[in-house]
Structures are given as C-alpha cells and as structure tokens.
Structure 1
C-alpha cells in the first residue's frame, strides 16, 4: 500500500489543481499535466487509474456546464472508435513499456505544438469523413487504456479539422469523459483499493477550484487565443512527458 505522506498528498493535490485548470481552460490535458506530477510519487498503474477517476469527475462537471455545445452527430464516430480502442489499450498495458509510450507521445506532442505555434496557419483536413473521425477515436481509446491520454489525438484532430472552439470542445470533451468512464470500468476492478479511494478524495478540493478557475479563463478567450492555448498546452504537456 502506498504511504500517504504529507509530501505525497501535496503533490497529488498540486497535480489535480494544475490538471483541472488546464482542462477547464482548454478542455483537455488533465491527464498529461496531472500525471506529469503524480508519476513522481505514484506508480504508473495507480496514476492512470487516478487520472481516469478524478478526470472523470472533473469532466462530468465541465461537460454539464457546456452541454449545449455538444454536437452529438460529430461525437458519435469518435465514441464508437474510442470504445473499441479502450480494451485494446488496457490489454497493451501488460506488454508495452509505459515509459516508451510516454516518450513517443511526448515527442509527437512537442513537435506538433511547436509547429502549431510557429506556422502562419494550420492545414485544414477535410478528407476521411466519419471514418477518419472514428479512427482518431480508436487511437484516443487506446491511449486512454494505456495511460488516460484520450484527449491528445482528438484535440489535435479538432484543430486540424479547423473547428471553432465551441464545436471542438463540444466533441472532444464529452469524448474524453465517456472514454475515461469506459477505462475506469475496465481498469478500476484491477487496481482500485483503499489507497486509490483516499487519493481520489485528496484530489476533490483541487479539482473543484482548478476547474472553476480554468473555465472562467476559457470564457475570456477569443478563437485565436484559444487555438494558441491549445498549441501551448500540447507542447508543454508533451515536454512534461519527456522528463
């Protein structure tokens, strides 16, 4: 059983707060920012479980607040692919080194985030239709099973689709919530114990305060500022995964 020292509690709370601010403002990156801190004091499996449990609570609150933005027709193919991908990702946990996955994902995110910040304009991908959306959802589901990183592929894809901020969040944030819950169902029975419950309780105050602050920031952003925030969050989160 993990010892919940004062230092562990402080870092778990800090990770939850920073992750909640990120998710409140950008609609994603909770898993990336929180786990970058949590992995210093929590093992990878427990960290992934805490990501999907606490992230699920946070995204439930945020999705409820923005429920009018949800585009169910656009969301559907992502969900279908994602729900197929989750058990694949969970199965890969036993055969894939999580550190290798983190570093590969981090490198891709740093490269994309840097490009998105420096390029005059991002390319707009219009090809592929719903099949391409489902394929991105599949990858997101697999990444959730591997470490709770479901938001990365869908957020990048929403940018490449050229969707405005409300349409983008109306797709990828409910997707993250649904895939977190599916991952929790599959992984929770394997690792959720008394210590996990205590860790989840520790995150609650930080989740509420951080999510509130982040959502207030989101309301102040125009389209260009929001797209730049996404690029910065992707690059910074990727760099954190490389550490």
Structure 2
C-alpha cells in the first residue's frame, strides 16, 4: 500500500469515526464516500462494518445512561429482519446506481428538513412505523453498512430530544451492523485482506469516535439537529460525486 492510499484510508477512518461518535451513525455515509475511490465495494462494505461496530462499542460507556431500549426496540426488530435481505443483495447491486440513488436521497430530504425550522413532532404510525423504517434501514445496513440515514431522517421529524435520538441511533446501528458483520463473516464475504485493512484503519476510527463524542456533549438540541442534517447532506454529495466521477 502506497502512502497516498494509506492517507485516504486513514482520512475515511477518522471522518467516519468522528461522525459516528458525534451522532451515533455515519461511519458508512462518511467513509464510503472516501474509501470507494480506492477500494471496490466488496472490500469497502465489510471494512465499514468492522469500523462501525468498533466505533459503537468504543462510545457505549459514555452513552449508557441515556440509552432508551424501549424507544429503540421497534427499529432494532425491523432492522434485524431487513438486514439479511440487504446482505443477499451485496453481490447483485450495481455500485454506481446504488451510490447515486442513496446520495440523491441524502441531498433532498435533509435540505427539506433544514428549511422547516418549526420544531416537528410527527406521530404517524407509532411503533409499527418505527419498525418499518428500521426494516428499510436494515436492508441498507446489510447492503452497504448504511443503516443510519433512514432512521435518522425519521427521528428528525419525530420531535425527540438530542439524547433520545442519539440513544436510538447507538442501539439500532450497533445491533444491525453487528449482525450484518457476523452474517458476512459467516457467509465468507469478509476476506483476510479486509481484516488487514481494518487493523490499519481502526486507530483512526477510534480516535475520531472519541473526538466526536466530546463534540456531541457540547451541543444543544438545535445544534445537534442541524449538525446531523449537515452530515447527511455532505455524505450525499460524496456518494453522488463518487457515482458520476470518471473512473
């Protein structure tokens, strides 16, 4: 591995870890936009899963007191059902079309929510709707480690506090991505070169997660809401650009 490739690997690990520590999701949405320049999806996706799970575990002690397992339960149940479906699609999905479609979604919806400045408390569907969003997030998690965007957008219109949202993201993403990683390892999708790359990337992920957690504690509810939407939007730009840039 040359110096440039390692620098890109480390940059993705730091960015993904920081965003995960800050928001409880985002290793994939940040790191994939960087890593897909140097790695094929078959390697980048399991690498994202390893770094995502490691980041969630490293920040768990700091979030334990605000975790609401009852609130997160429907998301996790739906996500664990949807995750195997996404994992089965890994070998069949067109990476360019996939990145473009997810990227456009992450440009449109956060922009719309940002300009709706009035606090929202959308109650439609209750826990079954939460489970359905978790199911869709689980599919994206199994497919590309992108379990976070849909539940994050959904939580943004539910009117939850910063700690409620952060706790749900932590529980949901940790559960779904951990299960997806176990499934991919058991299915033989994770090769030894992925573990080697993970050893190189994990220091950046853990440092980034620690810095992100410190930043999270400094934010109020409104700041956290705006930061989450901005992160989703930036990840959308990265995914769209990587899907249309010349190869």
Q: Within 5 Å, give how 1:210-229 maps onto structure 2.
A: 210-229=208-227
Count of aligned residue pairs for this structure pair: 240
Q: Which residue of 2 aligns with 1:175?
A: 172
How far apart in 2 are the matches of 1:67 and 1:199?
A: 30
Q: TM-score, normalised to structure 2's length?
A: 0.93
1:6-54 per-residue CA deviation (whole Å, 9 max, x = no partner) reads: 2222211110001111111122211111111111111101101001111
Of 183, 186, 190, which aligns to 1:186?
A: 183
| Runs of at least 4 residues off by over 4 Å | none
Q: TM-score, normalised to structure 1's length?
A: 0.95
Are the counterparts in 2 of residues 86 and 141 from structure 1 also a CA contact under 8 Å? Answer: yes
Tell me by how many angstroms 1:123 deviates: 4.0
- For 1:40, what is the secondary structure of its paired residue? coil
How far apart in 1 are the matches of 2:51 and 2:28?
A: 9
Q: Which residue of 2 aligns with 1:102?
A: 99
Q: Within 5 Å, give how 1:83-122 maps onto structure 2.
A: 83-121=80-118
- For 2:157, what is the secondary structure of its paired residue? helix
How far apart in 2 are the matches of 1:53 and 1:240?
A: 21
Alignment partner of 1:207 is 2:205: yes
Are the counterparts in 1 of residues 86 and 140 from structure 2 also a CA contact under 8 Å? Answer: yes
Tell me by how many angstroms 1:63 deviates: 2.3
Question: Structure 1 stretches of 5 or more lacking a match?
Answer: none
How far apart in 2 are the matches of 1:196 and 1:120?
A: 43
CA RMSD of aligned residues (A): 1.3
1:142-197 per-residue CA deviation (whole Å, 9 max, x = no partner) reads: 00111000011111111111101101111111110111111111112423222111
Q: Which residue of 1 aligns with 2:234?
A: 236
